[in-house]
Chain A
Amino acid sequence: MVKELEEVVDVPVVHVCTVVPISLTVGANRIDPAVAIPYPLGNPQLNRSEELALRRGIVEKALQALSTDVTEQTVFQ
């Protein structure tokens, strides 16, 4: 999906996912590693404000990826 979206819409796409090796195999260009498979952008063990901060961090990383030029597959740690 990530490749087809980038090709069709002709804009940068960032893949937020937990299992980075799969995303690399599939061919995503911008990859933003996430927390866990059932809650990529959260953590039920944290309280609400901590969880929100965690999520915001991951989304900010995604936005950073979208505003960074890349020439090859890049994982934004």
Chain B
Amino acid sequence: MASIRVVHYLNQFFGQIGGEEKADIVPFSKEGPVGPGTALVQALDGDMEIVGTVICGDTYFNENLEAATEKVIALIAGFRPDLLIAGPAFNAGRYGMACGAVCTAVQERLKIPVVTGMYEENPGADMYKKQIYIVKTGNSAAQMRKAIPALARLAGKLARGEVMGSPAEEGYLARGIRRNVFHEQRGSARAVAMLLKKLQGEPFDTEYPMPVFDRVTPRPAIKDLSKAKIALVTSGGIVPKGNPDRIESSSASKFGRYDLSGINDLDENTFETAHGGYDPVYANQDADRVLPVDVMRQLEKEGVIGRLHNIYYATVGNGTSVANAKKYAHAIGEELKQEKVDGIILTST
């Protein structure tokens, strides 16, 4: 019996190559399943076979989007696949971006069905959910056991060209596609039923969710930099050596505020990174590579800027939920407003 040839895309971590120190590894392929692919094989229908796995480092992929996509597609095409499965990426941002980009490119260029899995807040989900099927997963690899069967089920449906149900029925992120269906009740009756529920304060499902435009109005430019007070904020986890507030390396539960009075340069004896989502070697050697205090002091001395605000704020943006990021930024913002800063430089890794 002819089997359905599946190729699986993974990052360096799930591809069992290594952690952040291997995140800049260039794409390569292996025959058969690797890591979560082994569990995926168990969950897939009997006539579906993972013929190969393509692995690429998350940092390499995101820093070389176009070149990496080309290389990954070529490797995938080499296996003559009928279907591509990527991830799942959970809430890993760079991995999610890579899974989304690979799936979208493969769907377009190789004309085969693709599916991946992510947590809703993964930036890759927002970016690619309209183009591809993204199975909704939990926010960490602890949810792998739940994610695999869901991914396998959707992969089977896609491979067989079966009719896809609604996002809620099938467990994927809404793609914004509207399909005509015949409903036993006419629209006016459904609308009245909904209104009655609403009036009674009961939950109801709208048939036409409004898009959420979560944007802020750009604030006017600083008129005179030489009089401006500029603040530094980072999600790159730069903290005084020893991490006094014990900011967690992932899913940080807090942010820190640190004094820069009298500090003209961050060095390896005084500052380090608490971030667990990138290779810390370079930031630990010289934290100015993430939080540019040395250059800001230079510019302050030369009068290019009025002054550098003497407190900087840091958290770790690794697996952080949007709700927490917003909460920390709100608290930081309240303080910076009190301090009457004129502009903010936020650095991210």
Nearest opposing residue in chain A for B325, CB measure: A1
- Assess whether B347 is in contact with A56, with CB atoms less than 8 Å apart: no
Stretch at the interface among B45-53, B105-113, B155-163, B217-225: B217-225
Tell me which residues across on chain A come within 8 A of B330, comparing CB atoms.
4, 8
A residues 9-23 touching B (CB-CB < 8 Å)? 9-19, 21-23
Interface string of A43-77 (1 = CB under 8 A from B): 01000000110011011101100111111100000
Contact partner of A63 (CB less than 8 A), chosen from B223, B225, B288, B349, is B225
Q: A27-B216, A71-B218 are in contact. Are A42 and B288 (CB under 8 A)?
A: yes
Tell me which residues across on chain A come within 8 A of B343, comparing CB atoms.
11-14, 63, 66
- Assess whether A21 is in contact with B214, with CB atoms less than 8 Å apart: no
Distance (whole angstroms) from the CB of A1 to the closest CB of chain B: 4
Tell me which residues across on chain B come within 8 A of A34, comparing CB atoms.
347
Tell me which residues across on chain B come within 8 A of A41, comparing CB atoms.
288-292, 295, 347
Q: A40-B349, A69-B221 are in contact. Are A9 and B336 (CB under 8 A)?
A: yes
Interface size class of A (residues with CB under 8 A): 35 or more
Interface string of B313-334 (1 = CB under 8 A from A): 0010100000001101110111
- Assess whether A29 is in contact with B216, with CB atoms less than 8 Å apart: yes
Q: A38-B282, A68-B221 are in contact. Are A62 and B345 (CB under 8 A)?
A: yes
- Assess whether A25 is in contact with B292, with CB atoms less than 8 Å apart: no
Measured in the bound complex, the distance between the Cα atoms of B228 and A9 in whole Å is 14
Distance (whole angstroms) from the CB of A10 to the closest CB of chain B: 6
Distance (whole angstroms) from the CB of A54 to the closest CB of chain B: 10
Contact partner of B337 (CB less than 8 A), chosen from A10, A16, A22, is A10
- Assess whether B346 is in contact with A39, with CB atoms less than 8 Å apart: no
- Assess whether A12 is in contact with B221, with CB atoms less than 8 Å apart: yes
Nearest opposing residue in chain B for A41, CB measure: B292
- Assess whether A12 is in contact with B220, with CB atoms less than 8 Å apart: yes
Tell me which residues across on chain A come within 8 A of B174, comparing CB atoms.
none
- Assess whether A5 is in contact with B97, with CB atoms less than 8 Å apart: no
Q: What is the total number of residues of chain B having a CB less than 8 Å from a CB of chain A?
A: 68
Tell me which residues across on chain A come within 8 A of B295, comparing CB atoms.
41, 52, 55-56, 59
Measured in the bound complex, the distance between the Cα atoms of B346 and A2 in whole Å is 7
Measured in the bound complex, the distance between the Cα atoms of B332 and A71 in whole Å is 25
Contact partner of A13 (CB less than 8 A), chosen from B97, B289, B346, is B346
- Assess whether A4 is in contact with B337, with CB atoms less than 8 Å apart: no
Nearest opposing residue in chain A for B337, CB measure: A9
Stretch at the interface among B58-66, B137-145, B187-195: B58-66
Contact partner of B123 (CB less than 8 A), chosen from A22, A51, A67, is A22
Tell me which residues across on chain A come within 8 A of B225, comparing CB atoms.
63, 66-67
Distance (whole angstroms) from the CB of B179 to the closest CB of chain A: 26
Tell me which residues across on chain A come within 8 A of B214, comparing CB atoms.
3, 27
Stretch at the interface among B1-9, B35-43, B201-209, B229-237: B229-237
Nearest opposing residue in chain A for B336, CB measure: A9
- Assess whether B346 is in contact with A15, with CB atoms less than 8 Å apart: yes
Measured in the bound complex, the distance between the Cα atoms of B286 and A55 in whole Å is 12
Contact partner of B346 (CB less than 8 A), chosen from A16, A21, A25, A72, is A16
- Assess whether B296 is in contact with A59, with CB atoms less than 8 Å apart: yes
| 7 A–B contacts, CB within 8 A, in A order | A5-B333, A12-B220, A19-B94, A21-B65, A38-B20, A44-B289, A59-B299
13 extra interchain contacts, Cβ-Cβ under 8 A, other than A41-B291, A69-B220?
Answer: A1-B332, A4-B326, A14-B344, A18-B63, A18-B349, A34-B347, A38-B282, A40-B290, A41-B290, A52-B294, A52-B295, A60-B299, A66-B343
Question: Which B residues form the contact surface with A (CB < 8 A)?
Answer: 20, 23, 59, 62-63, 65, 93-94, 97, 123, 126-127, 214-216, 218-223, 225, 228, 230, 233, 235-236, 278-283, 285-286, 288-292, 294-296, 298-299, 304-305, 315, 317, 325-326, 328-330, 332-334, 336-337, 341-349
* 5 nearest A-B residue pairs (beta carbon): A8-B333, A42-B289, A4-B329, A29-B218, A1-B329
